Amino acid sequence: MDLGTLIGIVVGNGLILSAMLMGGTMDMFVDVAGLMIVFGGAVSACLMAFPMKEVIAAFKAAIFCMTADKMEPNAMVQTMCDLCTVTRKSGLVALSKMKFEEDFLRKAANLIADGTKEDVIRDALTIEIDAMKARHAVIQDVFAKLAAYCPAFGMIGTLIGLVQMLANLSDPAAVGPAMAVALLTTMYGAMFANMLWNPIGAKLASRTATEVMNLEITFEGACAILAEGNPMTVYEKLSSYIPAKSRVGLAKKKK
C-alpha cells in the first residue's frame, strides 16, 4: 500500500476516534438507522445513476489503487531506453520476441517490431490513451457522486430524526435520542464524503495522471525509437515529461 494512503487512514481515523472518546464513549456515535440511511441510501442512488458493472469496476479499481504499486515515470523512461538499445543491437524484429506485462507496452513494441509508420503508431496509441482516460473518468465520477449523495442522505436522516423528535415532544425522554439520531446522520454524511469517497476519488485521479504520463512516455518512446534509434536521444526526449529534480540519469539507472 502507498505510504501516504496508510498514513492518511491511520492518522485521520485515529484523530477523529480520539476526539470522540475524549468527550464520551463510542456508543454515543453509533446509530444503525443513521448508517443505513446514509451509506445504504448513497450506494442505492449510485446504483440508479450508473450500471452495476461500472459501480463494481469502480470499487475494484479503488482497491487496486490503494494496494498496488504504481510504475514510476523514471522506470518507464528506462524501459523505453532499454528497448531502444535492443533494437539498435538486434533490430526492430527483436521486440516481437520479448514478453511484456503491460498491454500498452506490448502493443507499442509490436507496432515498432512491424516497422509501422510513425503516424499509424501515433493514431493507434492515442486512441488507447483516450479510451483509458474515458474509463477512468467514469470510475472517478462514481466516487464523486457517492461523495455528493452522502451529505444529502445525511440531511434526509436529520429530517427524519427531527420529525420523530417533534412527534414526541410530549415525552421528554424521547426528545434526546431522536435529536441525537438527527445529528448523527449529518455527521455520517460528512464523514463518508470527506474521509472515504472524496479521498478515494482524488487518489484515483492522481493514479490516472501517473498512468497517462507513463502511456505518453511509452507512446513518444515508440516514435523516438523508430525515428532516432539512439538510447541517449530517446532518454533526453522522454525525460522531459518528468520534473528536473525528479529525473534519474540514464547511466545512473543502469547501475
Contacts 24+ apart (CB under 8 A), 87-94: 87/112, 87/225, 87/229, 88/229, 88/230, 88/231, 92/226
Same domain, 43 and 149: yes
The answer to whether residues 18 and 79 belong to one domain is no
Give which of 71, 27, 49 is closest to 207, Cα–Cα.
71
Quote the pLDDT of residue 253.
43
User: pLDDT tens digits, residue range 22-56?
Assistant: 877 778 888 888 889 999 999 999 999 999 999 99
User: Domain count of the chain?
Assistant: 2
Q: Are residues 35 and 1 in the same domain?
A: no
pLDDT at 251: 55
Tens of pLDDT, residues 144-160: 999 999 999 999 999 98
Are 9 and 111 in the same domain?
no
- Containing domain of residue 146, as a range? 31-253
> Are residue 90 and residue 136 in the same domain, yes or no?
yes
Domain co-membership, 7 together with 107: no
Task: Please report the sign of the dihedral spanned by the C-alpha atoms of residue 137, residue 138, residue 139, residue 143.
Answer: positive
Average confidence (pLDDT) per 10 residues, the chain, 255 residues: 74 83 80 89 94 93 80 87 88 85 86 84 87 92 95 92 82 77 89 91 90 89 81 88 84 45
Examine the domain organization and report whether 3 and 78 are in the same domain: no
Give the CA count within 13 Å in the CB-facing half-sphere of 32.
0
Q: Are residues 86 and 194 in the same domain?
A: yes
172 in the same domain as 110: yes
| pLDDT recorded at residue 125 | 86
Supply the pLDDT for residue 1: 61
> 118 and 242: one domain?
yes
pLDDT at site 11: 85
Does residue 110 sit in the same domain as residue 10? Answer: no
Check whether residue 11 and residue 130 sit in a common domain: no
